[in-house]
Amino acid sequence: MDEEQKSILLKTSSRFPIPPGVKFSYGTAGFRADALVLESTVYRAGILAALRSIKTRSVIGLMITASHNKISDNGVKIADPSGGMLTQAWEPFADALANATDSDCLLQLIIEFAKEESILIDGHCRAEVLLGRDTRPSGESLLEAAKQGINSIVGSAAIDMGILTTPQLHWMVRARNKGMKASERDYFEQLSSSFRYLMNLVPGECKVKGTDYKLVVDGANGVGGEKLECLMNMLDGLVIEVRNTGKGGGILNEGVGADYVQKEKVVPQEFGSNDIGMRCASLDGDADRLVYFIVPSVSSNNIMLVDGDKMLSLFALFIKEQLSILYKGVDENNPYQARFGVVQTAYANGASTDFLKELGLEVVLTPTGVKFLHEKAVEYDIGIYFEANGHGTILFSDSFLCWLEKRQNELSSMSEGSEPQKAALRLLAVSKLVNQAVGDAFSGLLLAEAILQTLSWSINQWSELYQDLPSRQLKVKVMDRTAVVTANAETVVVKPPGIQEAINAETVKYPRGRSFIRPSGTEDVIRVYAEASTQEGADSLAHSVGKLVEQFLE
Ligand SMILES: CC(=O)N[C@H]1[C@@H](OP(=O)(O)O)O[C@H](CO)[C@@H](O)[C@@H]1O
Ligand SMILES: [Mg+2]
């Protein structure tokens, strides 16, 4: 690193001193905190993104969002060349950068890390970082901080893509690195054209009519609402009404959005008695999560939730069906046996896991956080992962898609319009509709809609795939959440000693009882999850386990 580069880094970093007394950690989904303390972190994340771009010789993404968290929070996360999350191998460097006490420490860290990783910072390597942000008011100044971080590595270009959903930015990074067209328009084109393709394959007698035709979407007063309005103008065969677009004065994520609806299981704002029985859906603040719901009656505020597990179940059922139709037409001597797997976390409702296993599917659990689920799902030819909160996607391997293209061509020359050919076309369309970079509420929504029409199902039929076990989630504030250490995909606590035995002793008191605790990666709390055969049981188990957390961690 030459003297000029060093002096640029020293000069720009001195404008972004770290706030006293805050420790930053690149958690489940990047850095998140109150927006007021984030400038230095975002500036430093900009430096990291530029270095990552030089290292990988690829375009990198930097997204400013705090997703479903409150409007005064914000956050930053990095998208790797594949469009997926930043490699976990660089997270310790991210943490060290964010917490470096002054400009000299920061410079030293960068010099050492660049040496270790053989990153040549000489002004000749061109780094390119795409920037996006959600609708939070703090986003604008934080984006400036990110730009300054990127530009402080000589030869780097920061390209502001404007206000975007998180999955849009990840999609663009992936598309750019694959040499494909990567504008917002291209994103909308790909989603709407593959949706049209799937809808054209809906059997004529299945088209859903009447009230079922319309979908009402809660946009969480965030970026998803306004983007969905753009997308829906390009769709045929689906009527969407978007509420909580943020234009009507509602506050981001306050009493609205996928996280609220899934965790509280109540009707979001702007929804009520006029919507009874309608097919409704909720996006989160950056539109990477989606849940469906029904308002069952006027008498209570409760909803009937169709969560990420049920979305996963619908998708798995559909894909399994298409694969079996497809294989009927395959030459027995030369079948491509696609490895099909499903990935969940411990938060998945026990009834969903039973359902998927009964379907004969391979189900694996990983720790919470899509980076873990994604990493597992890529091991399959078709890997579906979803968190119960509605964040997930379906990944297709290149080799399977290549075989499928070939097979589709053979089938079309043999018997155009046959059921196996249609199954191949459907699977190909799904692989284009579903964001291959990260979970995307828009992909999920369009796929769910197309499948419901293909099967001629109402949301009630979907919801009845299986009966959720009653569950309850709680948060417990503790002095030090890192005191809780878990194992086996977070299903067992290994520290503090004795607490797991105490949780077990509580759990056995409840029929179908299951409970676990883990430190949140995005909030300063311990999360408690419990399920049981009755809601009272789940509530009481969660409550008792919450008490144990207080006792063991005080
Ligand atoms: C129980 C729960 O919903 N946890 C969420 C939440 O993580 P925590 O580490 O639990 O705070 O935010 C993550 C990022 O959005 C998401 O991946 C995860 O599923
Ligand atoms: Mg989100």
Q: What pLDDT score was predicted for residue 69?
A: 94
From 133, 21, 119, select the one nearest 77 (Cα to Cα).
133
All residue ranges of the chain with pLDDT < 50 are 210-211
254 labelled binding-site residue: no
The atom number, within ligand 1, closest to the CA of 473 reads: 1
3-state secondary structure of 302: strand
Residue nearest to atom 9 of ligand 1 (CA): 521
Q: What pLDDT score was predicted for residue 211?
A: 46
- What ipTM, to 2 d.p.? 0.98
Q: What is the 3-state secondary structure (H, E, C) of 446-461?
A: HHHHHHHHHHCCCHHH
Q: How far is CA 106 from CA 96, 100, 144, in A?
A: 9, 5, 19
Nearest listed ligand to the Cα of residue 287: 2
Report the side by side order of strands in the sheet with 31-34. Answer: 31-34, 73-79, 59-64, 127-133, 156-163
Nearest listed ligand to the Cα of residue 288: 2
160 labelled binding-site residue: no
Report the side by side order of strands in the sheet with 382-386. Answer: 362-365, 340-344, 382-386, 392-396
Q: Which two tokens stand for residue 425?
A: 């076309």
Nearest listed ligand to the Cα of residue 523: 1
Give the list of residues 6+ apart from residue 3 with CB closer than 8 angstroms, or none.
none
Mutating to test ligand 1, I would choose from 372, 520, 525, 528 the residue with most ligand atoms within 8 A of its C-beta, which is 520
389 labelled binding-site residue: yes
Q: What pLDDT score was predicted for residue 210?
A: 44
CA of 319 to the centre of ligand 2 (A): 25
Residue in 13, 53, 67, 282 annotated catalytic: 67
519 labelled binding-site residue: yes
CA of 443 to the centre of ligand 2 (A): 14
The atom number, within ligand 1, closest to the CA of 284 reads: 15
387 labelled binding-site residue: yes
The verdict on whether 67 is a catalytic residue reads: yes
Q: What pLDDT score was predicted for residue 110?
A: 98
Residue nearest to atom 14 of ligand 1 (CA): 29
CA of 382 to the centre of ligand 2 (A): 23
Q: Is the CB of residue 289 below 6 angstroms from any atom belonging to ligand 1?
A: no
Task: Give me the domains of the chain, ranges plus CATH numbers.
Answer: 3-163 (3.40.120.10), 188-305 (3.40.120), 309-454 (3.40.120), 471-553 (3.30.310.50)
Strand partners, 472: 530
Q: How many CB atoms lie within 10 A of CB 117?
A: 14
The model scores a pTM over 0.80: yes
Q: Is the CB of residue 408 below 6 angstroms from any atom belonging to ligand 1?
A: no
Q: What pLDDT score was predicted for residue 332?
A: 60
Q: Is the CB of residue 347 below 6 angstroms from any atom belonging to ligand 1?
A: yes
